[in-house]
Each structure stands twice: as structure tokens, then as C-alpha cells.
Chain A
């Protein structure tokens, strides 16, 4: 009986999920938009996985579930994940499984971009964009909308350009005003789009890759790697071959699935239910009044039963989850017992 592992990567723009077998081969995968609701996207993505697996006639025994991406904690508690990992590690592990000799990983997602530098299969340095969303997928998609081009076609259109417009790369706002200006004085659409692709690349290289050595082999991934225009712009700017895998958008999910494999050492089968479409998950945001900090607490309900609370800075809320009375008694004990030792 084969063992299978699930990895889910819930980003700000898109949600990715893969099912892998024991040899890290992707058996089923799905990529869809998060649309501001990670829970619904996860439900959809899991039921899609189920559909794909059924169509392939695979009886799935899940031995591990991992989550990553910006909503990893929320989805981690909903899916009862065995591993919740940050994106950087997940991406590095995922890429290493396909390109074992990778030295540089360029990753551009919806809201953030990362640069991961590896040496002998170990992460030695990384950088994430710090200040703004310039040079990420969100910028590309908003500009595509402005120019009336489908985001999927952006790369193909850019390749047609012979004379790319020069567009300021430092900041999205400047880039946008530059773009409008260039459009109004009559630049061609494909030149403008090629200009945007170039500006994403130069923003990335000037912000993230500043002072870092980019060495072969270079792998480019994340949603934006599907855009041929940006890939070509990277090749031109780095003067290096840039490798893009066919499943480059799934690397985070793949990585975390592999990580979940390593965690499940005793090899017990997980009781995982693919039919979460019908389960009602509710999140309620509230403010904790435990101290003057007023942390925002998110409570997660599964069919109206509280399964997790998160968001507090201290451990107070978590203890309340287990047992309110014990918590209060414990606090009384602390308050009245310790000062008496003076």
C-alpha cells in the first residue's frame, strides 16, 4: 500500500496543493485563486484533489499533511496539519528535490518576493522584500488590468516587443505614473508590457539581490515564473541560464509535503477526510481584554465547535482554550501564593 502526503501552500493571491507519493512524485496538484478567503480556497483545492485522485483511480492513504504560505497557521489548524513551515524553507526543500545542484532560487509570488541562496544543498542566505509590493505579482496583475490584457497572456505579448519602454522600477506608484505617461505619448502596448516585465526584474535585482552573489544554477519559481516575459528579462539581466520547472508554481506545496514525510516517523496513517467541502468552518475575530494590549484573537470553529484560537501575544488565550476554570484557579494561585514568599 502506497503512502501519500499532502502539501498546501496558501498564498495571498493563489492557493496551491499537491499530493505526492513516497518518492516525491507529484500525483495530483491544483492551483487556484485565494480570492481573499483562504478557508474557502482550501476547501475547493482539497475537493479538487479528491476529484483528480478519483479520476486516476488512486486510493489515497494520507500519511502527512503540511501547510505553508501566509495563511499557514490558520489552514494548519483546520486541516490538522502535521507540519506548519515557513515559505523559505518549504521552497528550498521543494526545489532541491527537483534541482539538487541549485545555487540560487528566485521566487516571485503575489505579495512578496524571495531570494534564497544555497550551497551544497543547504540554505546559507535568504532575503525577502521588506518595504512594498513593487516588483511582485500583484503589481503585474494590476497593470495587466489597466492595459486590458489577461494576466496569463502578459508574457507572450511581451515577447513580441522589439523596443521595450523604459519604466521606473523603484516604486509601484512611480512605475504606474511612468506607464500612464508612456501610454499617452503613444508607446505600443507590447513595448509597455515588456517594460513592466523589465521593471519587475530590475526592482528585484536592485532591492533583494543587492550585495548577494547569484550563481549557477539559477531557478526561477513562484506564480510570476509562468510569465515568459519576466523569465526572458531575468536571463538578459543576469546573463545566465534561468531554469523554470513545469511545476515551478507548486514548489512551496511540494516542499512542505516532503517535510511532512520526514516528520511522520512512526508511520501511522492519518485520519484525513477529503470531504471538508461540507464541513462548516467559521472564524470569529474578537479582542482579548486580558490586558491593555487588546490583542486581536481569531477563534476557529468547526461545525460550531471551537478547535483553535490564535493571534494573542501571550499564552493566555491558549490556556483558556483547554480549560477556563483551571486557568482562573491557576492565576489565583499565582497571585496569592508567590508574594507570600517575601
Chain B
């Protein structure tokens, strides 16, 4: 009989590197690992049932994941922390699940202040008594690096997904990559995998006139950004319309870049904000500005219903959109399962961007032809003057 069965909530494809890391760390004689189940309508149904009604969407999905894990035999749950209400989710979830009669242990990996390596080491020692610090450090670094590689691959795919000549090519490469990243043992394997995957990605053929593409940036709350299921696969939906998608929010970003950049962000957006908005609000504003300056055609802001930091950011975004004359829509997600409303909005947004771009092109052409006319007239006038003089 194993002492612990470990499981954790899902977050996009990050489950694979995290699973791989835990698999390398745990003491296999006493502890076993349970892969969290794929997200389904069932997950959110269970989650919404056991959660308070007004709590935000990530809580509900997490609860669904945790209950499903507990039902299939897990008794050691891992949970992360975050900058907003997410910071105390672990404690609340623990209490709710204990009230439901489950017997388990729940450990939060991050402290309220962020990542604390020594505390994390002590937590992982529960899973493997013989875990040395050097091995722990190596595994953590490897996990961080695999997450970075995953982010790189997915960012590239998001950027180009809409333009593959043969539909489904990227999907196959992506799936192959995910299948392999779960078996990574050391840095060498990781880098070989990275090189091979990027070679394949770069070899994918694109359709013609890629330069004409419409580019959309996604900003907003972290969970809805990173868990595609919670937004009805918004990014793929956009890609199927023929849109290249960019988003900054990834785990690599949140863990390592965010803290470093927060002052820069406030400085960058100093016309609009003077201090941090909490959680990802500052990033939403700064990234919106950055995307606009990079020439993106439109911005989509996403958040779960009732997300306070993002609600703080919304009036500022509204002002930016107005001043910079950039289309911006807000999408709010909750435990609904019908995507019709979202689809209608995305399609309308896409049509709007296309119409706007065409119109701008027309105006540009007009200006050009006017200029040509103007220079032509100028020459004519000069010619006449010359004639007069002679």
C-alpha cells in the first residue's frame, strides 16, 4: 500500500512538464502519481456544485479537478498560489473538501510572496525523504526549462497556427512534442527535443499572402489565458478565422519575468497608471500598450466573472482603446457551457478588423493617388510657367 497518491489541478499543457518533474522527484516505493483527468463539462459541473456561487471561475475548475482526482484515489494534492484571491484558494479548497468528507493532504507550492526555494524543498521532502538538495535543484531547473521550451513552442504555434497550408500539421507536431516532454530525463534530451521540434515547426508550409494577416493580442487574467478549455478554445477559434494570436501571459512569464518587469511596466504605461493594479491588472494595461505599439490590429481582454484586478484595468483599457483608436473587446467567462455567445462576438470582432483594415488601405491608396495628382499638377504648373516666360 502506497502512502501517498499525488495529483494536482490542470492548467493548460503545463500538466506535462509538472507531471514529469514530480515523476522524477518522488520516492516510487511509497508514493505514486496520478495524472489529472482531461477537462470536460463534467469537471466544471462538479466544481460549480461544490464551490460558492460567486467565487471566480479558476476556483471552480480547480475544485472540479481536485474532486475528480480524489474520487480516483488521490490523497496528496498540490495547489499553486497567486497574486489575487488565488492566494488563499488552497486553504479554502482544503476546508471545503474536508467538509465534504475527503481525507487528504493539500500543499500549496507557492508562498503568498511568490516562489520560495527552501520552503518548496521542504514540501517536496514529504514526497521523498531521501531527496537531496542538489537533486531537487536540478529537477526544478529542468522543470523550469521544459516549461520555457513548452512556452516557446506554443508561442510559435499560436503565431502561425492560422496559416498552415495543410490543416492539422501543427496539431500533430504539438501532440508529438507533448508526448515526448513527459519522458524527459535530463537537459540533453530536452534540448534535442527542442531542436527537433523547432526544425519540424520551421519546415511547415504556409499558405500564400501571409503578410496580409490580421494580428490580435490577448491580455487579461492568467487562468483564462492559459487554460484553453475555460475560454472554449478561444485561440484556436481565432486561428480558424485566420488570425495570428499573441499573448504574453505564460508560466515562464509569471514566475520569472513579471516581478522583474513590474516597475518597467508602470513606467511604460505612465500616461495611464501610476501604481500597480494588483495581480495581472498592470500587465493587462502595459501589454495592451505594447501590442498597440507593435502594430497589432485588435485586443481581446479576457477575465473570469468577478475578477477584481481585471475589472480595475478595464476602464483604463477603454481609455487606451479610445485614444489609440484600436478595437478592443472584453470577454467574460463563467461556468456556462454554451459557446454561441462567445463565437458571435469573436466573429463580429474579426469582421470588424477586416473591414477596418480594408478601409485604411483604401484611405492610404486615396492619399497616395492624391499625392501623385498633386505632384503631377505641380509639374504642369511649372511647365506652364516656363512656357509663359519663354
Contact = CB atoms under 8 A, between A and B. Distances in A.
A292 B41 CA distance: 8
Contact of B37 (A85, A88, A120, A292): A292
Interface string A92-136: 000000000000000000000000000011111110101000000
A125 B351 CA distance: 11
Given A88-B344, A339-B179, A125 B40 contact: no
A293 interface: yes
Given A70-B340, A124-B356, A313-B233, A293 B348 contact: no
Contact of B38 (A70, A87, A125, A292): A292
Interface string A286-312: 000001111100000000000000000
Contact of A211 (B315, B344, B345): B315
B356 A122 contact: yes
Given A130-B332, A292-B40, A123 B352 contact: yes
A120 B363 CA distance: 11
Interface in A163-189: none
A325 interface: no
B344 A291 contact: no
Interface in A260-296: 291-295
Contacts of A130: 332
Interface string A309-342: 0000100000000000000000000000011011
Interface string B221-235: 000000000001100
B375 interface: no
A161 interface: no
B242 interface: no
A38 to B, nearest CB: 13
A86 interface: yes
B161 to A, nearest CB: 15
Contacts of B345: 88, 128
A311 to B, nearest CB: 10
B370 interface: no
A7 B343 CA distance: 21
Nearest to B233: A313
B315 to A, nearest CB: 7
**DSSP class of A's interface residues: helix, strand, loop or mixed?**
loop
A89 interface: yes
B352 A87 contact: no
Nearest to B332: A130
A125 B318 contact: no
Interface string B157-187: 0000000000000001001100110000000
B189 interface: no
Report the interface size class on chain A: 20 to 34
Contact of A87 (B232, B321, B344): B344
B42 A89 contact: no
B355 interface: yes
Given A122-B355, A211-B315, A292-B42, A89 B348 contact: yes
Contacts of B40: 291-294
A295 B42 CA distance: 11
A339 B180 CA distance: 10
Given A128-B345, A211-B315, A211-B318, A293 B41 contact: yes
B347 interface: yes
A122 B359 CA distance: 7
A88 B179 contact: no
A85 B346 CA distance: 12
Contacts of A87: 344, 348
A338 B172 contact: yes
B327 interface: yes
B298 to A, nearest CB: 11
Contacts of A293: 38, 40-41
Residue of B37, B176, B352 most packed against chain A (CB within 10 A): B352
A88 B351 contact: yes
Contact of B344 (A121, A125, A128, A341): A128
Interface string B39-54: 0111000000000000
A86 B237 CA distance: 15
Interface string A187-203: 00000000000000000
Nearest to A71: B340
B13 to A, nearest CB: 16
Contacts of A122: 352, 355-356, 359
Contact of B348 (A88, A121, A211, A338): A88
B132 to A, nearest CB: 31
B355 A125 contact: no
B183 to A, nearest CB: 9
Contacts of A341: 176
Contacts of A88: 344-345, 348, 351-352
A126 B348 contact: yes
Contacts of B172: 338
Contacts of A211: 315, 318
A130 to B, nearest CB: 6
A89 B344 CA distance: 10
Contact of A124 (B38, B175, B327): B327
A93 to B, nearest CB: 9
B101 to A, nearest CB: 25
Contacts of A126: 329, 348, 352
Contacts of B340: 70
A119 to B, nearest CB: 9
B348 A294 contact: no
Contact of A120 (B42, B232, B315, B359): B359
Contacts of B341: 128
B42 A123 contact: no
B352 A294 contact: no
Contacts of B41: 293-295
Nearest to A338: B176
A300 to B, nearest CB: 17
A125 B324 CA distance: 13
Given A125-B352, A128-B344, A291-B40, 9 more contacts: A85-B347, A122-B355, A123-B348, A123-B356, A126-B352, A128-B345, A292-B37, A293-B38, A338-B176
Interface of A: 70, 85-89, 120-126, 128, 130, 211, 291-295, 313, 338-339, 341-342
25 contacts: A85-B347, A88-B345, A88-B352, A89-B351, A120-B359, A121-B359, A122-B352, A122-B355, A122-B356, A122-B359, A123-B348, A123-B351, A124-B325, A124-B327, A124-B352, A125-B327, A126-B329, A128-B341, A292-B42, A294-B41, A294-B42, A313-B233, A338-B172, A339-B179, A341-B176
